[in-house]
Amino acid sequence: MKGNRIIGTGAGYPDQIMTNEDIAKIVDTTDEWITVRTGIKERRIAEEHESTSDFAATASLRACEMAGVDPEEIDLIILATLSPDMLIPATACIVQDKIGAKNAACFDLEAACSGFVYGLACANGMMPEAGIKHALVIGAETLSRVIDWSDRNTCVIFADGAGAALVKHEGGDRGIMSTYLRADGSAPPPWLMVSPGVAYRGPFSEGSGTDFAIRMEGKEVFKFGVKALPDAVIGAAERAGVSIEDIDMVIPHQANIRIIDAGAKALGIDRDKFFVNLDKFGNTSAGTIPLAMDQANREDRLKEGDLLALSGFGAGLTWAGSIIRW
């Protein structure tokens, strides 16, 4: 254990709330149908002028404020996202400019809903070997821009928002104890995908009919999530040398309440130990875990010395876990 500790958290998300009743005006669905199948009641949707970097910057500044760290002290910014402001430059660089973190190295990371935990692993591995004392790890999305609003399978689930964690190398026995990263690229599309990427050979133009939206085989993704959530926690716990019974809180990817319930049962962990806020925020992909972590932190649900487990899973397929001594 390197003693790389999370000393500040923050969240950023749109003010605009879209309820299940609002979505029912767009597609053939009901509040009951969405709630029973997902656990989601409402979600945040960006206004036209808002972007991923806006939510990421807000979350980052709040994390810095909590930690009492000036943005100029940040050495590294890792931003996990599948909905960047643009392909070039990295959205992490845009965030750097917006928050005044002029001394930070920056890069984006794309591992879908596992991205934040992947980002923590990268930061943990680079501190302090790369001369990094303060690292900002962000998960941020504006998924409303890659949703087909006529597709009931996806438009009821995905949403916009960001969370950030400021990690400091300070030694000691608190901080990131382990990370566990996995992927399986053999899963055929459209388990969970957005296309086209550079593999698309045709000309792109307005009105071309080119599909650029999240596509998902919900039943297959559900089966994957039910297995991946507990595997990520078990794998991280084994690497940390801790018992599942010792975990005080689990913050899972906020994808579907039934996946979370099944994961708790598989792990044998009391469901009350799982922090869940997808009823208010929906699925913000890379943003779900840090956004939930910030809420738990600000509600004083995380106590010094608590053992926290993170579990992410998503497109790729990817899944990832981490054990953190708070």
Active site residue: 20, 256, 283, 297, which one? 283
Judge whether 134 counts as a catalytic residue: no
Active site residue: 64, 134, 253, 256, which one? 253
- The token pair at 118 is 């992947």
Q: Who contacts 264 (Cβ-Cβ below 8 Å, separation ≥6)?
A: 250, 270, 271, 273, 274
- Measure the CA–CA gap between 157 and 116, rounded to whole angstroms: 19
CA 225 remoteness from chain centre: 15
Judge whether 283 counts as a catalytic residue: yes
237's enclosing H/E stretch is helix 218-240
Region of 270 on the Ramachandran plot (φ > 0 left; ψ -120 to 50 alpha; else beta): beta
Q: At 44, give phi and psi (nearest 5°).
A: -100, 135
- Measure the CA–CA gap between 160 and 301, rounded to whole angstroms: 24
- Measure the CA–CA gap between 278 and 40, rounded to whole angstroms: 6
Active site residue: 64, 93, 113, 122, which one? 113
Residue 55, judged by CB atoms within 10 A of its CB (0-12, 13-18, 19+), counts as buried
**DSSP-derived pairing of the beta strands 318-325 and 307-314:** antiparallel
Judge whether 169 counts as a catalytic residue: no
* CA R_g for the chain: 19
Respond yes or no on whether the N-terminal peptide bond of residue 190 is cis (omega within 30° of 0).
Answer: yes
H-only helix segments in 2-90: 20-23, 31-38, 52-67
Query: What does DSSP assign to residue 309?
Result: E
142's enclosing H/E stretch is strand 134-142
| Residue indicated by tokens 């469901």 | 271
Q: For the chain, first and last CA: distance in Å?
A: 13
Just list the catalytic residues: 113, 253, 283
